[in-house]
Structure 1
Amino acid sequence: MTEKDGTGLDAGRLQAPLARLLRPLVRLAIRSGLTFPALVDLLRELYVNVAENDFALTSKSQTDSRVSLLTGIHRKEVSRLRGAGAPVNVVPVSISRTSRILARWLADSDFSDGAGRPRPLPRTGSDLEPTFDRLVESVTRDVRPRVVLDEWLDRGLVTRDADDRIVLAEQAFIPKSGSDQQLYYLGRNLHDHIAAAVANVEGDRPRFLERAVHYDGLTQPIAEMLEKRSREIAMEALTTANREAHTATEGISDGGWRWNFGVYVYSERVGGDNDETADRNDREGTT
């Protein structure tokens, strides 16, 4: 990569952060049986697709030769791969439906209390009463509420209380480990986080908020306490953002933009629990 747009970016400086970024994905690929040759094939197709679409010149049509020059991929391979397309960002219907129903349950004052806690809902009732059926029908009429309820009971998203009301088990959609739903959000959330960071690196000034609070040299009890507390803070922020987004989008049928607000928490053991030799300035900060 040559320097561009005054950022001073070049391939040599990019390799170290890229290697750190890719390491957990490579570990996941190996664990999942995705071999290096298969990953190379995917990267080759993505290189061609991105060069073809994101680096096209406004005054000229994109050519095989220029895509080959940008990517380092042989022109014959470029010719074969051009137009093949990259993986399409389509939300599976079941995931979209579940997310929208949960979001309304947590944000709509008919179905949640003033603190953003989801109300236990009877399955059926009058038209004016907040019920599970009314919740589902306010989002979609393509599937019967009873079908949604049976699916959610089976997946453990909801339970029944002593009064036979439907109770939300979690205040977020947490897919099962390794499920198609979890893999979808792996791609979606990591894409948006990385896209925000890349946009900030490429631009003249940071466009997106992409910050973190980080402390090193912690004991295990402190790390566990901070992880627990940060989860609580994160859920408060997500619940607030969901309620405000729900209010702002009421009555909007279709627009050309999307928005994503995400939070991540991570901790790991990297050294001795009682190592107090590190300089304090190297052990804490915000980025």
Structure 2
Amino acid sequence: MTTTKDTVLSACRQLMQPIIGILLRNGVTHKELASICKQLYVQVASEEFGIRGRHTNLSRVAMLTGIDRKEVARIKEAWQNNEQSEQNQQHQDRLTRLLSAWHQDPDFSTADHHPLALTIDGDRHSFAALARRYGGDLPASALLKELKRVGVVADVDGNLDTSEHKVIATKRYFVPAQSDPGALLRAGSVLHDMGATLHHNLYKANQQKQQPLRFERRASNAQMPVETAAAFREFVEQEGQAFLEKIDAWLSAHEHSNPDKITPHLRLGVGTYLFSNPIEPEANEDASNEEDK
């Protein structure tokens, strides 16, 4: 008889397979992964399994995770002092927000939402003004250097040593180069967002009736000829980009006009992704169209 735990472990194998591939390609051993998993067991048990909204006490965390109380206490102290992952996500979100504004804000874009070429300095219509408005507390020079480094901002032809030197956005979204450590951190963020949505729909929405299910859908077909892959990829890139730009415009139109640390904030968004899995001929006989609803 298959138990719920058996089903969860089977799902975990599917979830972890691509993650293990990323880890192996970057020299992470199973012992290092086990150490991270132990920390996460303690963190999640502490944050999500308390009574009446409070953090879980050491004894209950030890009981839930199978880790002794002394080890739980040591791990809790370590992860509570480490905010690097959240800071990196905020940094990437800030860069994407700045690029989005460069395409949306009429002070920095055309009427049809194309970015204007901006001088580096100046009170208006400059990168410095854009950075002051959308770059948070990061210096304009640091933002520009990072955006140029990853290839989403370029110099406009002309004399780079004059005050008329201009720069322009070449992409609307900040996506680190694949060789960049930021790309790996972004991959972790993407997987976290997907997993958090699934976790919410499986458990939190059911436990807290006032929280609706989050949108999560797929459309796939297991009988596609191999030669259609390139055309489908091009179709998804065009339609997906148009969809995300529409979402981005909605978010920009509804964001806080004067955000500050006192005002409650949410990080809202939608992610899209293309998947492609080879099907062995024997397994293709009973395949049918699939659409998750």
**2:40 corresponds to which of 46, 63, 69:** 46
- Matched residue of 1:90: which SS? helix
Which amino acid is the alignment partner of residue 273 of structure 2?
Answer: V
Cα distance between partner residues in 1 of 2:187 and 2:127: 29
Counterpart of 1:171 in structure 2 is 172
Report Cα offsets for 1:40-69 as digits up to 9, x if no partner. 111112112221221112399844432222
Which amino acid is the alignment partner of residue 156 of structure 1?
Answer: G
**1:267 corresponds to which of 249, 257, 275:** 275
Label 1:83 to 1:155 Cα distance change in 2 as closer, same or farther (>3 A): closer
Label 1:69 to 1:99 Cα distance change in 2 as closer, same or farther (>3 A): same
Q: Are residues 1:91 and 2:111 paired?
A: no
Correspondence list, 1:120-269, <5 A: 120-123=117-120, 127=123, 130-140=125-135, 142=137, 145-146=140-141, 148-162=143-157, 165-202=166-203, 203-204=205-206, 207-254=213-260, 255-269=263-277
Give the count of matched residue pairs.
275
- Matched residue of 2:87: which SS? coil
CA contact (8 A) 2:62 2:68 kept: yes
Deviates more, 1:65-74 or 1:28-37: 65-74
Label 1:53 to 1:113 Cα distance change in 2 as closer, same or farther (>3 A): same
CA contact (8 A) 1:227 1:267 kept: no
CA positional deviation for 1:133 = 3.2
CA contact (8 A) 2:96 2:172 kept: no
Cα distance between partner residues in 2 of 1:61 and 1:142: 32
Counterpart of 1:4 in structure 2 is none
Deviates more, 1:89-98 or 1:9-18: 89-98
- Matched residue of 2:79: which SS? coil
- Matched residue of 2:86: which SS? coil
CA contact (8 A) 1:122 1:166 kept: yes
Label 1:262 to 1:180 Cα distance change in 2 as closer, same or farther (>3 A): farther
CA contact (8 A) 2:104 2:113 kept: yes
CA contact (8 A) 1:103 1:242 kept: yes
Which amino acid is the alignment partner of residue 121 of structure 1?
Answer: L
Cα distance between partner residues in 2 of 1:46 and 1:267: 28
TM-score of the superposed pair, with normalisation by structure 2 = 0.79
CA contact (8 A) 1:107 1:242 kept: no
CA positional deviation for 1:210 = 1.0
Which amino acid is the alignment partner of residue 221 of structure 1?
Answer: E
Counterpart of 1:37 in structure 2 is 31
Cα distance between partner residues in 2 of 1:146 and 1:61: 41
Which amino acid is the alignment partner of residue 173 of structure 1?
Answer: F
TM-score of the superposed pair, with normalisation by structure 1 = 0.80
CA positional deviation for 1:177 = 1.2
Identity of aligned residues (%): 22
Counterpart of 2:62 in structure 1 is 68
CA positional deviation for 1:137 = 2.9
CA contact (8 A) 2:150 2:176 kept: no
Cα distance between partner residues in 2 of 1:64 and 1:137: 44
Counterpart of 1:118 in structure 2 is 115
| Unaligned residue ranges in structure 1 (runs of 5+) | 1-8
Cα distance between partner residues in 1 of 2:54 and 2:275: 49
Cα distance between partner residues in 1 of 2:277 and 2:251: 37
Which amino acid is the alignment partner of residue 78 of structure 1?
Answer: V
Cα distance between partner residues in 1 of 2:63 and 2:150: 50
Report Cα offsets for 1:184-229 as digits up to 9, x if no partner. 3222222121111111111338610011111222123322212211
